[in-house]
Chains A and B, each alone.
Chain A
């Protein structure tokens, strides 16, 4: 738990010292659309507008389809079909965002360019579509869990009263699953808000665009814009130094972002709201009008909604395998890069493995300790608070972790770009997953086990060592693998702290000024050069390699998880 507190302290400390290092004019930050560091004008309104529009678009596109697809998966498809589909949705939810970014550059941008008069296709709309594609699997996966948790006897009781399937879903299933499905949306929203890299690649990064009329609003959708995260992922944090008003204003952006994401996360993890019960008390209206046609229509729409995630799955696979075919050649895996965009990616693979292995070493004891604290030591109320905090850390925009690491390690401690800094910055991505799976497993421990152990006179420490640890280690390991699958695809924390595109030895020899190359950075850099076919081929190949690495980690985790009951934390 100490670790979790430490991460929070560092992050908040970074943002606080940032603000303290120069005056932040908060009202200007919140209301002025102009961002002009040269003249000392720092207004974030246009970025806040951009973030809001992009997320709203993403939710607008992803939520109806995601919810309908989740209902189709659990209530309409036979288990034989639904099971593999559920698994593939979970896999999609774990695909690194940089890969979605690449899809955005190569597929969504041309699509938007064809829609309207948008040179290149960089626009808020493109960013919204990319985010929608990215968060839809998350929404489906969490909603499916919520729906599957509704006991079958509710369905049976409703069916046996002669209700159609649509009516059963509406009256018996959805009321029970509502809070879980809402949590899925908020989790998706938190991901969308905090996503830096995929947005960075397609949003156009044009400052100061704020529409003044309704027509202006619609035209702003198909024009380049700026979001909070894209600003922070750009070159400016490196130009701003580590003190002064410029730096302070950037930290202010970070605080706004963190507050928005934390609000979404905390709201999402809250239990059933009091409003839900009140709504239940009011007799709901229902009509017996056109029951059968409406049931058929609902069936059609819901099964139809499955097409979109289905197409997504098949499309992603197809595009990765056809475009990334270079990755199917073993030489690509085992030879180093030659020049900017040829040769293999062995250095990048080694770098990625080094980063996540180091992160795993640090995160395992920290996450495990935190998990035991939440699961076994804290009182029920403290545990709930700690759990919410842990979830909030897991949802922290990784770009902020990267910036905090940049200021702390690269500047203040003088490490420059260092693989160790990168690994440490990845730790907060892994720790919450480990802690939550461990705590969940401890909670599922039969109480007889605890009772009989304590009845034998074991001390707390002996009890943990001889009862809790043997019972929980598979869950902990699953959590670690899931966390690493996420960490392997992270780009935002690394670009400032640890990785370079080219010119680093495959394995570093020291700590200070010892960068590595890594797959996500490789894809990120190459995909900004979308006009060079060479570079794009290389990017797709690297993307396929990265997806395969993630898939291996994930399937190990799934295999382990299938040996015991436990919550799912891939998203």
Chain B
């Protein structure tokens, strides 16, 4: 099986200081991989490093390959981010309708007829298990959706781009128990069809949803200093 993403000795640096890593892993096409580790180890930061969305001042170090192409440091661009799509932890819903939100990335990236766009959006909403709940009200404001629905909407607009890999950053931690279950079901439904890297602090969730697990440890410098305390 081909690797969609291959990472070797990835670190996130603040100047010379290592904040996160090193970590090494590969994402096989169609697999769901869990990224877990103690809080503060920088799980979310690793996801941002993969798509070059690190906060200002932090840099990525190490080897990163996406679909066989080496991504050099600071060389991430819109192209990379539409191939490997990050879904942030808190669902972000933009002003406008549900359809607007589902089209949010797609309408910039693809030249296609309105009908084709709509088909792709419908496909994505089905894949995110949201279609049945919103099919009759695509034109209503997206702000009316519940938190769990919002998170699935975010998932859908990422899926609409047909990404090579999805990076899910704690997709359920901002949700209550019931919405958590619905989002988990949607993620479970992707298994086998999509390449997913899932960050979670909940080992049981990783157990339920993932084929492989990558553990991220605290970097040595931080581990030592916390051991000293």
A157 touches B154 (CB 8 A): yes
Whether, in the assembled complex, B111 has its beta carbon less than 8 Å from a beta carbon of chain A, the answer is: yes
- Complex interface: chain A residues within 8 A of B158 (CB): 160-161
Known contacts A153-B88, A156-B88; decide if A281 and B97 are in contact (CB<8 Å). yes
Q: Nearest-CB distance from B195 to chain A (Å)?
A: 16
Contact with A along B123-148 (1 / 0, CB 8 A): 00000000000000001010000000
Whether, in the assembled complex, A79 has its beta carbon less than 8 Å from a beta carbon of chain B, the answer is: yes
Whether, in the assembled complex, A84 has its beta carbon less than 8 Å from a beta carbon of chain B, the answer is: no
Which interface class (under 10, 10 to 19, 20 to 34, 35 or more) fits A?
20 to 34
Known contacts A176-B95, A286-B107; decide if A160 and B51 are in contact (CB<8 Å). yes
Considering the chains assembled together, what is the distance between the CA atoms of A269 and B160 in angstroms? 39
B154 touches A280 (CB 8 A): no
A175 touches B95 (CB 8 A): yes
Considering the chains assembled together, what is the distance between the CA atoms of A167 and B79 in angstroms? 13
A280 touches B88 (CB 8 A): no
Q: Which A residue sits closest to B167, measured CB to CB?
A: A160
A157 touches B103 (CB 8 A): no
Q: Which A residue sits closest to B87, measured CB to CB?
A: A160
B53 touches A283 (CB 8 A): no
Considering the chains assembled together, what is the distance between the CA atoms of A172 and B53 in angstroms? 16
B53 touches A160 (CB 8 A): yes
- Complex interface: chain B residues within 8 A of A281 (CB): 96-97, 100, 139, 141
Contact with A along B192-220 (1 / 0, CB 8 A): 00000000000000000000000000000
- Complex interface: chain A residues within 8 A of B95 (CB): 175-176, 277, 280
Known contacts A161-B161, A175-B94, A281-B97; decide if A288 and B109 are in contact (CB<8 Å). yes
Whether, in the assembled complex, B85 has its beta carbon less than 8 Å from a beta carbon of chain A, the answer is: yes
Whether, in the assembled complex, B3 has its beta carbon less than 8 Å from a beta carbon of chain A, the answer is: no
B94 touches A171 (CB 8 A): yes
Considering the chains assembled together, what is the distance between the CA atoms of A281 and B82 in angstroms? 25
- Complex interface: chain A residues within 8 A of B85 (CB): 160-162
B92 touches A154 (CB 8 A): yes
Known contacts A160-B85, A162-B79; decide if A284 and B100 are in contact (CB<8 Å). yes
Task: Choose from B79, B103, B109 the contact partner of A283 (Cβ within 8 Å).
Answer: B103
Q: Nearest-CB distance from B148 to chain A (Å)?
A: 17
Q: Nearest-CB distance from B29 to chain A (Å)?
A: 19
- Complex interface: chain A residues within 8 A of B107 (CB): 284-286, 288
- Complex interface: chain A residues within 8 A of B78 (CB): 162-164, 167, 291-292, 295
Q: Nearest-CB distance from B143 to chain A (Å)?
A: 10
Known contacts A78-B56, A79-B56, A280-B96; decide if A159 and B81 are in contact (CB<8 Å). yes
- Complex interface: chain B residues within 8 A of A176 (CB): 95
B157 touches A161 (CB 8 A): yes
Q: Which B residue sits closest to A285, measured CB to CB?
A: B107
Whether, in the assembled complex, A85 has its beta carbon less than 8 Å from a beta carbon of chain B, the answer is: no
B83 touches A161 (CB 8 A): no
- Complex interface: chain A residues within 8 A of B165 (CB): none
- Complex interface: chain A residues within 8 A of B87 (CB): 160
Interface residues of B in 92-113 (CB under 8 A from A): 92, 94-97, 99-100, 103-105, 107-111
Q: Which B residue sits closest to A160, measured CB to CB?
A: B86
Interface residues of A in 149-189 (CB under 8 A from B): 153-154, 156-164, 167, 171-172, 175-176
Task: Choose from B53, B108, B139, B154 the contact partner of A167 (Cβ within 8 Å).
Answer: B108
Q: Which A residue sits closest to B160, measured CB to CB?
A: A161
A161 touches B96 (CB 8 A): no
Q: Which of A78, A157, A291, A295 has the most CB of B within 10 A?
A: A157
- Complex interface: chain B residues within 8 A of A295 (CB): 78
- Complex interface: chain B residues within 8 A of A158 (CB): 104-105
Interface residues of B in 139-176 (CB under 8 A from A): 139, 141, 154, 157-158, 161
Given A281-B139, A288-B110, 8 other A-B residues pairs in contact with their CB atoms under 8 A = A154-B92, A157-B94, A162-B82, A163-B78, A175-B96, A281-B141, A291-B108, A295-B78
Residues of A within 8 A of B (CB): 78-79, 153-154, 156-164, 167, 171-172, 175-176, 277, 280-281, 283-289, 291-292, 295
